[in-house]
Structure 1
Amino acid sequence: MKIRYVLVMCGLLGLASCVKDDSTGATGAISEILIDEGSVKELYDIDKNEVLTITPQCKQTNGQKALSYTWEIDQKVYSHEPQFVYKGERLGTYLCRLIVENEDGKTFFPFKLNVNSPYEEGITVLSHDAQGKSMLSFMLKQRVPGVEDHFEDGDCFTVNNPDILFADSVTDMVQCDGNLIVSCKGNNHLQVPATIYYLNEKTFMVQNEIRVPEYANFNPIRLGIPADGYVGTAYPILSEDGKIYEFSISESALVPSTRLTSNYARACGIYSTSSTNFTLLFWDNTRHAFCQLTNGYGPYYCSKTYNMKNDNFDASKNYFNGKDFVAMFMPRLLSDASTTEEPTVVVIVKNSSSAMYQKVELNAPFWKYNADQGENVLVDNGGLKMCGFAAPKLKATSPLVASKLYKVLFFGDGNTVYKWFYTSNQMLDKSEEYCKVGSAQAIIGSMELSQDQKELFVAFHEPAESGLNGHVWVYDTQDGALLRKYDNVCYQPVKIMYKKK
């Protein structure tokens, strides 16, 4: 057992004599205070909202004199109790000190306390129950030996915002500029309008709450907001009725879009490398056309004619003329991919006059400057190719995620995950069954890839179960082996996302 000896500051008389004698003015022996170093450490790390308890063990060299305790945090007195009990309500590093005192003097023990974010990085799940009650779940990473990765108990929104009502029917979330932006449709019966929350990405505490009751038909389902927001730019939010509203993240203002005025499919592609370099992709149901916003400008439609816009739209030049939208996806780049690597978007369409399905792989954005031709040209990576005859299980609302590393699309239907090698000659209707989750009644709500794309996270719910009927199962991306199960950790999942640090 180690004992920390600290100089006891006494009066001059105490310093002059530590041994009791019978001479005039002499004192008794000083009782020095010794703190067991095993009972108090020099460094503590706790998570936000975690309670730290320290019980110091003290000894005295001469008798048991009355002890008093003082705990200081950043040079301010926190407590005089013998035991230190502290709840980490705010993130930060704190310089602390224990002072133990008797009638002869004091002993000091300085230590450092770090209050860390438990939500620094990891799997995040949005879900709601059958009545629309919303829930935010987060998977805590292993930090203590013997304690595996696990989801935090309860709703992380409510835990960190006990005085704020979480609006019903969550629909989407994006990570942007230090915030986790979450959208909810609300509850008309309870007169709770659609709501957009700004949560601090490290604490999940609400920084801002935006409600627009003046737009009764606004029910946000897709947030077209890139990872790096730009002050003064309005970003599109897709409503359940297919309309688009524009949202300024700096001014927290939302209005119906005056640029994107058609009806749009429930799909949105987002790619950004910086706050001023981003591309957003939408399918225009009214014009049967694919369009994009580039760095806030547009919409520009996919055509052989560079920058065909609203005011010069020509149906005969529309690249997807005569096609109906089926689905779209952007293959996930590796987290350490070079910023020069060009993203692509794969679009699945059906001929309006037949049952033939086709795919096309486009650049995002569509056009690239060709020095030989001296102009911007459409980069379609091979043009429209047949991908199936029979009606595929893939739909615009299907949960899906695509790996650029393995050139494979994973999509869900009921309790089954299918995989389709989108760059091969495999027909879409011949997609391979990858795995089945839960019972035959299970319904997959969302999927996500790990940062290295070697693991696939499948979030689903069991309609027959009550309470927390949502589950997350993890599979090996290549061979489909079930690696881990996290059962009853959420409600009906609507989105699972890897929140980056």
Structure 2
Amino acid sequence: MKKIYYIVFAILVSGLLDACIHDDTSLADPDFSRLSIISQYDTLSVNLSEEFVYKVDVVQSGEDRPLTYEWGYATYNTKDESDYPAKDSLKIISNEAELRYTFRKLGTYYLRLKVDNGEAISFKGFMLNVTTPYDEGITVLSQDDAGNPRISFMKTLTRQEIESGVKKEFVTDVLTKENPDYTIKNCTDLAQFGPYLLLASREDGLIYKLNAKTFGVMYKNRVRDIIPDFTCKELMGSGATNWMLSENGSAYRYELTFDEVLVIDNAVGYGYDACFFGYSSSYQYFIDYDKSIIYSPTGNKATSSSNYFEDYNIIGMVPWTITKLYTIAVLKEDPSQGRVFQTSGSLSKLTELIKFDGTDLKLDKNSTIMFSKTYKNAYYDYGNNIYRWNCTGQFPKTPFITFPDTKEITAVAMDPDKTLIYVCYVDSERSGLKGGIDIYDANDGKLIESYGGIADRPLRVFYKTK
């Protein structure tokens, strides 16, 4: 008889433990009422500091009885899916059927609902992502004629937001909204470096470090205190590997952890005019157009193309693979004779790859060249059009994407997957905010989305990641 009691007790304990671990069960005697919690979603999202409102349906199998509710949350346990989803003890935040709560800290949380009708108890667990309105999406830096910068941002919507009928739109006053105590003027560039954004200004050679999730200023660095002739013209890099190209022809590193500007011998005094990414954003190259030399600062020296291109004017670069770098150039004495040269990623092993007709070439050193790893095509702006080159033959004379004369292209970029082309422009026929962005399919050139009146004169566009 004792064995039977032990077995029954073991079964009961096992069932209770299972309920605790999975936390999505109903505990009740088969002869009594049972509860079912019905929710459309298992994963929920809410913006930081915005009230989160959520309600589920509860179905009782027998007689309707009064229900009591308990909502609680804890940090989500992301290390092991088999573990209990709450990393620590639950904080109880509501005893109402409809949850209303404002989360004040970013993160991923385990949200649990407990429903009790006196005879049965049911649990329902959710993964809750507390994000910002600026979690990830298209970011545009623009500026008006008075030198006042503007950051416009359009968030990439979650599935929950899309199904709830939320429409995509740009927030056009992010910089001033999130930094009311700062007066920022005359910006030249904006770029993301992991969890940070760097915003460059001509005013005193200032570099602002922003939180990439909130756009809030974290630090203001007056670089001219260290480098008197510093004015950042372009930012480039990835994560810790970041560079600031100055109008003085040198490049400097910005150390993000301690907010220090690093003066590195292999990047100072070379006469840099422009910078290009390699196949990966971890590879950066600088061009001296006057001397027709390409540099890649590595180690204690700047690897260079030496005199490879001394008879040519360099126009631009295309990163075909990590080990194959294409350089587009035309002969100085006869610009109709064009060449595409191939070198290794370390600028060695020069090979003449393609001869092309440089007459009426729709590409120059002011063009922004983008490369799609997906389609193995290069895309670039010239005049007021976008061109596509297959990287194997002659350069096109016919535009891939044509813009009207009333819209002046000012900035271009591609999405992280390299399947979409972002084209920013100024519309002379529009009143108010004249800047806009059109988004095209990089495969067929078809217009997918268009947003007008979202910026001043665009300077930079990119997709900000989480």
TM-score (norm 2): 0.71
Partner of 2:7: none
- Separation (CA, whole Å) in 2 of partners of 1:270 and 1:158: 34
> Which of 328, 333, 336 matches 1:347?
328
Name the amino acid aligned to 1:264.
Y
Partner of 2:223: 212
From the superposition, tell whether residues 59 and 389 of structure 1 become closer, same or farther in structure 2 (CA, over 3 Å): closer
Partner of 2:368: 399
Partner of 1:223: 235
Partner of 1:330: 318
Question: Could you tell me how far 1:281 is from its partner in structure 2?
Answer: 1.2
> Which of 419, 426, 429 matches 2:388?
419
Question: Could you tell me how far 1:342 is from its partner in structure 2?
Answer: 2.6
Partner of 2:308: 319
> Which of 137, 140, 148 matches 2:156?
140
Partner of 2:254: 247
TM-score (norm 1): 0.67
Higher helix share: 2
CA contact (8 A) 1:97 1:111 kept: yes
Structure 1 segment 383-394 matched on structure 2, within 5 A: 385-390=355-360, 392-394=361-363
- Separation (CA, whole Å) in 2 of partners of 1:490 and 1:141: 21
CA contact (8 A) 1:236 1:246 kept: yes
> Which of 339, 343, 350 matches 1:363?
343
The CA RMSD over aligned residues, in Å, is 4.3
Name the amino acid aligned to 1:284.
D
| Between 147-156 and 439-448, the greater mean CA deviation after superposition | 147-156
From the superposition, tell whether residues 133 and 105 of structure 1 become closer, same or farther in structure 2 (CA, over 3 Å): farther
Give CA deviations for 1:287-346 in whole Å, capped at 9, x if unaligned.
33222223x44212213xxxxxxxxxxxxxx12224444x3132476xxxxxxx534232
Question: Could you tell me how far 1:135 is from its partner in structure 2?
Answer: 0.4
Instruction: Say whether 1:471 aligns with 2:436.
Output: yes
- Separation (CA, whole Å) in 1 of partners of 2:393 and 2:59: 75
Question: Could you tell me how far 1:48 is from its partner in structure 2?
Answer: 2.6
> Which of 390, 393, 398 matches 1:432?
398
Name the amino acid aligned to 1:329.
M
CA contact (8 A) 2:112 2:124 kept: yes
Name the amino acid aligned to 1:411.
Y
From the superposition, tell whether residues 210 and 95 of structure 1 become closer, same or farther in structure 2 (CA, over 3 Å): same
- Separation (CA, whole Å) in 2 of partners of 1:156 and 1:217: 30
Partner of 1:52: 52
Partner of 1:293: 297
Name the amino acid aligned to 2:101.
Y
Question: Could you tell me how far 1:198 is from its partner in structure 2?
Answer: 4.4
> Which of 411, 420, 423 matches 1:455?
420
Aligned partner of residue 163 in structure 2, secondary structure: coil
Name the amino acid aligned to 1:346.
T
CA contact (8 A) 2:37 2:59 kept: no
- Separation (CA, whole Å) in 2 of partners of 1:218 and 1:37: 62
Give CA deviations for 1:448-482 in whole Å, capped at 9, x if unaligned.
33455443332222244344433222333343232
- Separation (CA, whole Å) in 1 of partners of 2:351 and 2:444: 29
CA contact (8 A) 2:206 2:220 kept: no
CA contact (8 A) 1:170 1:182 kept: no
CA contact (8 A) 1:180 1:199 kept: yes
CA contact (8 A) 2:265 2:301 kept: no
Name the amino acid aligned to 1:281.
Y
Partner of 2:197: 181
Aligned partner of residue 218 in structure 1, secondary structure: coil
From the superposition, tell whether residues 476 and 73 of structure 1 become closer, same or farther in structure 2 (CA, over 3 Å): closer
Name the amino acid aligned to 2:259.
S
From the superposition, tell whether residues 271 and 441 of structure 1 become closer, same or farther in structure 2 (CA, over 3 Å): same
From the superposition, tell whether residues 300 and 98 of structure 1 become closer, same or farther in structure 2 (CA, over 3 Å): closer
From the superposition, tell whether residues 145 and 331 of structure 1 become closer, same or farther in structure 2 (CA, over 3 Å): farther
**Structure having the higher Rg:** 1
Aligned partner of residue 270 in structure 2, secondary structure: coil
Partner of 1:267: 275
Question: Could you tell me how far 1:106 is from its partner in structure 2?
Answer: 12
From the superposition, tell whether residues 199 and 292 of structure 1 become closer, same or farther in structure 2 (CA, over 3 Å): same
Partner of 2:350: 380
CA contact (8 A) 1:218 1:239 kept: yes
Aligned residues: 417
- Separation (CA, whole Å) in 1 of partners of 2:109 and 2:464: 27
Give CA deviations for 1:76-124 in whole Å, capped at 9, x if unaligned.
344577753233443323344567899x999886643512446565543
Q: Which runs of 5+ in 1 are unaligned?
A: 8-31, 304-317, 334-340, 368-377
Name the amino acid aligned to 1:495.
R
- Separation (CA, whole Å) in 2 of partners of 1:57 and 1:151: 31
Name the amino acid aligned to 2:398.
E
